[in-house]
């Protein structure tokens, strides 16, 4: 296969027409995996460090470094808050992981998470105008088990170099303790994107989906399939935003959550799941078949599909059913199959299907909003404010069943969201600095435009090479041959 002239915009057109919908979906999944390996090898990763200050002759190093920089150290010593003005700390996020649950691939060893953590830093910069650095740590103790206390200690020690911490891909139950302890004991925001970020964006999508089906949050029956950090936090945030927990049922790998689950009650590490056992599923429904009868919403974040969620489950849902199947890289059921089973609105975590419910439109704006006001933490109210901002922005530009939420390409969603988060931080009393909504919006927008212009200038100047055509064509050929 030669000279396909593949661009990522014409991928669908180059997949053989005789392939079934499922085969086409498999080709796309395999293509992006193959392309990722080839592209990361070609570029040796995707992030680098570049100066933000000029070098107008070598004498400037007397100010950027010694002897002049001594005054920076003593100034910060006298008032630590000046570190936000005299260094890049105020716009710098550490993306911290022990790589024990990387996407759907499980424990990838500490360096195995670097691709994802660099990806988070990439998105933070390009979408939110925020600098990020990937830090993958070994959390194993002497017994060989992953110890949450090691991550906690590391972050507490490193927090003075950053304006915020983004936790990522830490397996449960350790992720619960790591987040809860660090949120309270650190003096900067600690954000767990797999949990809070997924919850924020899912809530945004749900708000708009419910508008389209003319249903109210407090009235709907919600089934949660999967009870990991993401779905457990989604349930908590959705309940805080107005859903009735007594009308919801959650399933983990063992079965339905309810007050009879002594295995969860007895394991104190899973205290977040036990909290949900106490407020959901009062009738102690045990099976998915029964739970899905007349359900209005299914939110699945379990394991990659495509046959994890059954068509017959969706068939018994209520009128105009809303189905979120957000496992990565393959949703629990393909959107076309969910639609065939009667779903009215289907969302996934992937950008090559309609209605991508993905953290990428959440965390860049949320972290930017928190950083601009030098917040001490990110409250649940701030996460809900971000979700409502995304939903409102999306509704204003128009929503329909195949487009319920803004996309990454809609750049103004990020400063809009950041400004609302900043205002909520001020309202919640966790901000060190105050500003107006318009000031926050303008600052975030300027920083985002600067980040994008810098990237484009590097491309235009030849400092970032364009991907060779054979890289794209070869990745597609490999994917098609694997499926054929």
Q: Are 303 and 332 in contact (CB under 8 A)?
A: yes
Pairwise CA distance, residues 86 & 82, whole Å: 6
Residue 126 among the catalytic residues: no
Higher pLDDT, 190 or 1: 190
207 lies in the same domain as 287: yes
How many folded domains does the chain comprise?
2
Share of the chain above pLDDT 70, in %: 99
At 223, phi and psi to the nearest 5?
-110, 130
Residues 310 and 371 in one domain: yes
- Out of 43, 52, 65, 396, pick the active-site residue: 65
Closest CA to 137 of 195, 107, 106, 97: 97
156 assigned to active site: no
Structure token pair of residue 246:
């007594």
pLDDT given for residue 99 in this prediction: 97
> Quick one: pLDDT band at residue 6, thresholds 50, 70, 90?
confident
- Domain end (from 188, 217, 243): 188
227 with 138, same domain?
Answer: no
Domain CATH for 123: 3.40.50.10380
In a domain? residue 93: yes
Residue 63 is predicted with a pLDDT of: 96
| Domain hosting residue 107, numbered range | 89-188
- Percentage of residues in the chain having pLDDT higher than 90: 92
Q: Are residues 147 and 284 in the same domain?
A: no
- Statement to judge: residues 265 and 250 lie in one domain: yes
Q: Is residue 323 part of a domain?
A: yes
Same domain, 216 and 94: no
Q: Has residue 2 got a pLDDT over 60?
A: no
145 and 240 housed in the same domain: no
Could you count the other beta carbons within 10 Å of the beta carbon of residue 52?
10
Domain-embedded: residue 473: no
Cβ neighbours of 80 (radius 10 Å):
11
Q: Is 414 a residue whose pLDDT tops 80?
A: yes
Average pLDDT over residues 479-483: 95
pLDDT digits (tens, 9 = 90+) for 316-359: 999 999 999 999 888 999 999 999 999 999 999 988 899 999 89
| Domain presence at residue 55 | no
Q: Is residue 10 part of a domain?
A: no
The beta strands (E) that lie in 183-338 are given as 190-192, 222-225, 248-251, 297-300, 322-325
Q: Based on the fold, state whether residues 220 and 268 are members of the same structural domain.
A: yes
Q: Are residues 402 and 338 in the same domain?
A: yes
pLDDT of 402 > 50? The answer is yes
Domain containing residue 333: CATH number = 3.40.50.720
Among residues 135, 154, 188, the one where a domain terminates is 188
- Would you state the pLDDT for residue 4? 63
* Candidate list 24, 26, 120, 215, residue with the active-site label: 120
What is the reported pLDDT for 329? Answer: 82
| 172 lies in some domain | yes
- Cβ-proximal residues to 454 (8 Å cutoff; 6+ apart), any chain: none
166 contacts 94 by C-beta, under 8 angstroms? yes
| Torsion angles phi and psi, residue 434, rounded to 5 | -110, 150
| Residue of higher predicted confidence among 103 and 14 | 14
Residues 271 and 403 in one domain: yes
Residue-wise pLDDT for 221-241, tens only, equals 999 999 998 999 999 999 999
**Are residues 103 and 216 both part of a single domain?**
no
- Note if the bond before 471 is cis, omega within 30 degrees: no
pLDDT at 104 over 80: no
Looking at residue 1, its pLDDT comes to: 42
* Res. 103 pLDDT band, cuts 50 70 90: confident
pLDDT of residue 9: 87
Q: What is the pLDDT of residue 93?
A: 98
Sheet containing strand 164-167, strands side by side: 131-136, 92-97, 164-167, 190-192
Question: Residues 294, 404: one domain?
Answer: yes
User: Does the pLDDT of residue 208 top 60, yes or no?
Assistant: yes
* Confidence category of residue 3, pLDDT binned at 50, 70, 90: low
């Amino acid at each position: 296969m030669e000279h396909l002239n593949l661009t990522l915009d014409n991928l669908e057109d180059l997949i053989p027409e005789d392939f079934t919908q499922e085969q086409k979906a498999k080709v796309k999944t395999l293509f992006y995996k193959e392309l990722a390996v080839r592209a990361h090898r070609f570029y040796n990763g995707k992030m680098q460090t570049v100066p933000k200050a000029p070098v107008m002759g070598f004498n400037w190093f007397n100010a950027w470094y010694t002897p002049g920089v001594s005054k920076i150290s003593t100034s910060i010593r006298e008032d630590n808050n000046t570190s936000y003005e005299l260094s890049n700390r105020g716009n710098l996020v550490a993306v911290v992981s022990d790589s024990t649950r990387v996407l759907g691939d499980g424990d990838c060893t500490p360096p195995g998470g670097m691709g994802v953590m660099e990806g988070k830093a990439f998105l933070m910069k390009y979408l939110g105008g925020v600098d990020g650095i990937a830090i993958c740590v070994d959390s194993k103790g002497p017994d060989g088990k992953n110890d949450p206390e090691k991550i906690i200690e590391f972050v507490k020690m490193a927090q003075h170099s950053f304006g915020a911490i983004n936790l990522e891909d830490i397996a449960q139950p350790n992720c619960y303790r790591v987040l809860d302890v660090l949120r309270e004991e650190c003096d900067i925001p600690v954000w767990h994107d797999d949990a809070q970020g997924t919850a924020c964006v899912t809530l945004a999508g749900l708000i708009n989906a419910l508008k389209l089906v003319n249903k109210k949050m407090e009235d709907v029956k919600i089934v949660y399939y999967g009870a990991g950090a993401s779905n457990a936090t989604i349930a908590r945030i959705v309940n805080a935003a107005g859903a009735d927990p007594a009308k919801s049922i959650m399933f983990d790998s063992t079965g339905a959550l309810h007050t009879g689950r002594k295995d969860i009650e007895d394991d104190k590490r899973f205290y977040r799941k036990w909290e949900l056992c106490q407020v959901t599923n009062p009738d102690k429904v045990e099976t998915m078949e029964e739970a899905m009868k007349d359900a209005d919403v299914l939110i699945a974040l379990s394991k990659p599909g495509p046959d994890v969620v059954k068509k017959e489950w969706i068939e018994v849902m209520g009128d105009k059913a809303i189905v979120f199947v957000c496992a990565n890289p393959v949703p629990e059921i393909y959107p076309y199959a969910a639609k065939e089973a009667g779903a009215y609105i289907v969302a996934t975590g992937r950008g090559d299907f309609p209605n991508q419910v993905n953290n990428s439109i959440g965390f860049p704006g949320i972290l930017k909003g928190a950083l601009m006001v030098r917040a001490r933490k990110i409250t649940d109210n701030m996460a809900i404010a971000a979700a409502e901002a995304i939903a409102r922005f999306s509704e204003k530009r128009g929503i329909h069943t195949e487009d319920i939420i803004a996309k990454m390409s809609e750049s103004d969603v990020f400063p809009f969201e950041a400004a609302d988060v900043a205002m909520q931080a001020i309202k919640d009393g966790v901000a060190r600095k105050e500003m107006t909504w318009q000031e926050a919006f303008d600052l975030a927008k300027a920083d985002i435009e600067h980040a994008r212009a810098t990237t484009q200038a590097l491309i235009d100047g030849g400092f970032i090479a364009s991907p060779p055509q054979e890289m794209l064509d070869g990745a597609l050929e490999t994917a098609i041959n694997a499926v054929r």
